[in-house]
Chains A and B, each alone.
Chain A
């Protein structure tokens, strides 16, 4: 079992051992375990409640995505008391062995390809597909909450959303606009050279995925001007 990532809230492992089935109906023979360790600073009662609520919330969000046919890992099992989710492993890996996240893929191109390669038709159609995926998500009033190029994985050419630790349900254009804005900013800071093209393609796809994108895009303009936070007293 190897650690894939360690955030403030959860540790993510990859394993080859399925928790209960030798021939599961998922494509990969590797599995992801997301574990929310208990926090010593919290009162045990608060800690148990938070661990359970967050784990349940994430499973519920993922199950909803599964039902809607929006690309994301399938849930394999969950242990709410101990804050564990087993899920499908997504991605086929890059030639250099890295996890095939959009971030790693674009970085790989930056390192190994010329400028044209970084903005090729293939890259364009991939980012349009990513935008479409986020559009579909928002069309169903689902907010990811932490969109970055490392939270989108590529399985072949198909993008998949992962990490729903900050997800929520909302029909507000504001929340959707902020969701996109967070991604735009992440693209700017991680892929600064081609960020303008990348963000343009993402939005192109977004409009395809979300039929009611007009209000969101108008709101996005506002959010870009004022930043992520609404202005408030003190």
Chain B
């Protein structure tokens, strides 16, 4: 038995078009997706008509503040929407619905984007569909990679969760008990004044490739949960002492085996090795728990090649294991995933009344009823 996705189709039209707006953090993304009638399958793929993004980049050593990020989104949203429609080669009125991120995320940026969504909805008389950001990532990942029922590792600036589908919910089996992995990497980057362009995590990854010596860091896994705040404060102190301009505080750290000095590259390498080991470990535990052999990595940190490589090593040890990951177009926050997940809801009859389009900073993945799946 499969769900009927076409109960609400428009007469005489054999496809759907949805616009998605995403702005829950420092990326503003707009995309247009096309679904043809019928179940999505390897023969009937969702079509990405456009996927435009603009990232608010702050100077090294600084994070993005909600107010400034919201201003960035407001300044750019019209231009990005226009470009997205041009890229897709459609008019606004060709669309079936407007999808927007309802949460979780930063309040002010979310709000500035939902205002754009509401405006478009009224302008073009289109229904609004609120989308859970995490569900957006999961559905887009499934669609792009063809992973049917994977254990999902969702790793981004604001989220770190290990998720598996069961009875029409994406259930959270494990998650961070304090800060998210992306947040941990970003804050470490700030201490070392690593550039935020294109992303602090990307620059840490490049530096880590040159790292040679592993510095032992705390390792905190509790069942399928993990904690990263302790590691961050530990390595922050280390980094500050190592690279302090004050000669009194400037303590040199030496690698025990080689006797060589520890470099910023070594710290990046050590941080990645420790954090990613924890992620892979909880993923493996979740896979054993739900007896799954597929892993899907989504979220901005998911584009890290070392994380993908480690996950692959783990998966290869398991029987019939397979790993699925998307590239930066879909891993990093984008509008197309919101359009895609929103369109799935729309095809099942979900429409948000204007009064129900309030955004929320807290919106758990397992709150969403996954009406479009019934396996």
Smallest CB separation, A214 vs chain B (Å): 26
Answer whether residue A225 sits at the interface, using C-beta atoms and an 8 A cutoff.
Answer: no
Find residues 41-98 in chain B having any chain A CB closer than 8 Å to their own CB. none
C-alpha spacing A50/B287, complex, angstroms? 20
A46's contact among B172, B223, B274, B284, by CB below 8 Å, is which? B274
Stretch at the interface among A20-28, A37-45, A64-72, A80-88: A37-45
Bound form: Cα–Cα A42–B279 in Å? 11
Give A40 to B309 CA distance when docked, in angstroms. Answer: 11
A112 within 8 A of B: no
Are A41 and B313 within 8 A (Cβ)? yes
**Does A49 reach chain B (CB closer than 8 Å)?**
yes
Q: Is the CB of B361 within 8 A of A233?
A: yes
B216 contacts chain A at the CB level, 8 A cutoff:
yes
B298: min CB distance to chain A, Å: 15
Q: Beyond A8-B284, A168-B222, A231-B364, list 14 extra A-B contacts (CB 8 Å).
A: A8-B287, A8-B289, A39-B313, A41-B311, A41-B313, A42-B280, A43-B277, A49-B216, A49-B219, A53-B219, A229-B175, A233-B104, A233-B361, A234-B105
A136 an interface residue at 8 Å Cβ cutoff?
no
> Would you give the 0/1 interface string for B201-244, flagging 1 where the beta carbon is closer than 8 Å to chain A?
00000000000001010010011000000000000000000000
Contact indicator A41/B104 (Cβ below 8 Å): no
Residues of B within 8 A of A (CB): 104-105, 158-159, 172, 175, 177, 180, 214, 216, 219, 222-223, 273-274, 277, 280-281, 284-285, 287-289, 310-311, 313-314, 317, 361-362, 364
A61 to B313, CA, bound (A): 31
Q: Which residue of A lies closest to B288 (CB)?
A: A8
Q: Is the CB of A234 within 8 A of B314?
A: no
Contacting pair B214 A43 (CB below 8 A): yes
B314 partner, pick from A39, A50, A146, A232, beta carbons under 8 A: A39
A residues less than 8 Å from B280 (CB atoms): 39, 41-42
Q: Is the CB of B361 within 8 A of A146?
A: no
* Residues in A neighbouring B177, C-beta threshold 8 A: 232
Answer yes or no: A135 CB below 8 A from chain B CBs. no
Partner of B273, one of A8, A43, A231: A43
Give, as a whole number of angstroms, the nearest-CB distance from A26 to chain B: 29
Contact A41 B314 (CB under 8 A): yes
**CA gap between A42 and B273 in the complex, in Å:** 7
Q: Is A7 an interface residue (CB 8 A)?
A: yes
Give complex CA distance A42, B217 in Å.
Answer: 13
Contact B288 A234 (CB under 8 A): no
Contacts of B287 in A (CB 8 A): 8
CB of A74 to closest CB in B, whole Å? 25
A45 near B180 (CB under 8 angstroms)?
A: no
